[in-house]
Amino acid sequence: MYRVLFVCMGNICRSPAAEAIIRTLAGKAGLSRFLEVDSAGTHAYHDGERPDPRMCKVAAKRAYDLKGLRARRLVNEDFLRFDLILAMDNQNLDYLRRKCPTGFHDKLGLFIDYARETGEEEIPDPYYGNAEGFERVLDLCEAAGEGLIKVIAPLAREGARF
């Protein structure tokens, strides 16, 4: 089992979208039994809440289901449990680097790094914007998700143990 955690600030827009997208892509690639995904926020602003209704709406148009997800804050155990912890932007990556125990920093990265062809350096926070911002987040998460699945698929074929 390979475990990936997606992290944004409040865990109601970008990271739950990434979680749902990767779960869907993993299913299509036959990786569901090999790949476990989750999402968390660096802050507890929305702890226990459902994803932002605007994100749910645009995600549903693309057949991604966010209904069962609930926001949670990152906990110290996440650094031990997950094999890869991907932030949506540099601010949250900096937070992860500060909180991460010694010896686990190699697990940290940016989700967008799996979609360098986009030319983007971060997946922007759509919270204070309009529907187009949420659509753009999904576009970037889909591109990064496809790149991530390409990296993870060979690990599953090799029977990697983590």
Active site residues: 8, 14, 125
- How many other C-beta atoms lie within 10 A of the C-beta of residue 155? 16
Q: What's the DSSP call for residue 50?
A: P
Distance of CA 1 to the CA centre of its chain: 17
Q: How many residues does the chain have?
A: 162
Q: Which of 109, 107, 119 is nearest to 143 (CA)?
A: 119
Q: Give CA–CA dist 135/132, Å, rounded.
A: 5
